[in-house]
Amino acid sequence: MKVAYFPGCQITFSLKSYGKAVEAIMAALGVTLVRLPFNCCGNPSRGKNLEVSVFSAIKNLVLAQKYGLDIMTPCQCCFGQLKYGLYWYENRKALRDKIDRLLADQGLFYPGSPGSPPGEPAGIKHLLSFLYHDIGIDTLKKKITRPLAPEKIALQHGCHALRPFSVTGFDNPSAPIIFKTLVNITGLEAIDWSKQTECCGSPVAKDNEALALKMITHKAETASREGAAHICTACTHCQIQYQGKDAAHILSDKNLSAVPYPFFLGAALGIPIAEMTTGENHQPSITNPRLQ
């Protein structure tokens, strides 16, 4: 199986071990990650210039379609932006016509636009939905060789994939099951807790750091009361928010750590933790003995 890999800026520059873990589990699952010359997903420009934002997203989709590949990204922000870009492209004719002209100037055509060659549009998949739908739970269960000790895990779903469902179509935003199912098959126990779908605080951190830390404090207190050993993330922005100096201290006070899901799955697949890290700062702090 081949898929166009879209790691996104956060993994490329700030969370290299996160990316290495994704690459390791894909190799273990027999998935070939094809690296194409993608540009930015377009999210940083969304609030400043919608046209630039949508053009960035659609150009990436056109590039993947040229190679007959779907896009898979471990970044919820990139996933959400690619979905948003497609939504606006399909629902705003004037904008779509302008994007088509800009693409045509570069010899590129979105499927179905004037002058486009035959072919289906590229699909947009987040890592979790790719594992759940494309690899499949039954296949993953068969691949797991070292089930993890049954620690309780609090899930941090992240916002960009869940909401709004009318755009992302990812999972039930009020009662999501994909992430929980993927965690539970590793041997861990994903708990039901009231703050699993609440924002991590990253969007407000720049303008109101005190509020962002208050949000994390409430999450840490709630997760601790429920007996969680870790907060498991599936969003790069959430992971960065949790591993900041002050936030990490808040978690540590409650004997918690924030761990990206790929590390848990990779360990359950029998991949040594050393093969999923790069030696950078902010390595995942994991106490589960099966991950050592």
Specify the higher pLDDT residue, 161 or 286.
161
Judge whether residue 277 has pLDDT over 70.
yes
Q: Are 243 and 282 in contact (CB under 8 A)?
A: yes
Integer Cα distance of 175 and 192 in angstroms: 10
Quote the pLDDT of residue 292: 47
Integer Cα distance of 59 and 62 in angstroms: 5
Mean pLDDT of 114-129: 92
Question: What pLDDT digit, counting tens, does each position of 122-141 carry?
Answer: 999 999 999 999 999 999 99
Residues in the chain: 292
Buried b (16+ CB within 10 A) or exposed e, 199-230: bbbbeebeeeeeebbebbbebbebbbeeebbb
| Mean residue pLDDT across the chain | 93
Q: How many CB atoms lie within 10 A of CB 96?
A: 17
Integer Cα distance of 21 and 263 in angstroms: 6
Judge whether residue 284 has pLDDT over 70.
no
Judge whether residue 73 has pLDDT over 90.
yes
Question: What pLDDT digit, counting tens, does each position of 33-50 carry?
Answer: 999 999 999 999 988 999
**φ, ψ (nearest 5 deg) of residue 114:** -55, 130
Helix or strand (DSSP H, E) at 111 = none
Handedness of CA 90, 80, 277, 240 (dihedral sign): positive
Integer Cα distance of 126 and 167 in angstroms: 14
Specify the higher pLDDT residue, 231 or 114.
231
Question: What pLDDT digit, counting tens, does each position of 164-216 carry?
Answer: 999 999 999 999 999 999 999 999 999 999 898 999 999 899 899 999 999 99
Q: Are 222 and 196 in contact (CB under 8 A)?
A: no
Judge whether residue 283 has pLDDT over 80.
no
Of 31, 39, 30, 32, nearest in space to 12 by CA: 39
**Radius of gyration from C-alpha coordinates of the chain:** 19
Judge whether residue 285 has pLDDT over 60.
no
Longest dimension (CA), the chain: 60
- pLDDT band (50, 70, 90) for residue 157: very high
- pLDDT band (50, 70, 90) for residue 117: confident
Mean pLDDT of 48-75: 97
Which pTM was predicted? Answer: 0.94
Quote the pLDDT of residue 116: 87
Integer Cα distance of 255 and 285 in angstroms: 11
Strands 230-233 and 189-190, bridge-based pairing: unpaired
Judge whether residue 159 has pLDDT over 50.
yes
Strand order, beta sheet including 32-34: 32-34, 2-5, 71-73, 124-126
**φ, ψ (nearest 5 deg) of residue 244:** -60, 155
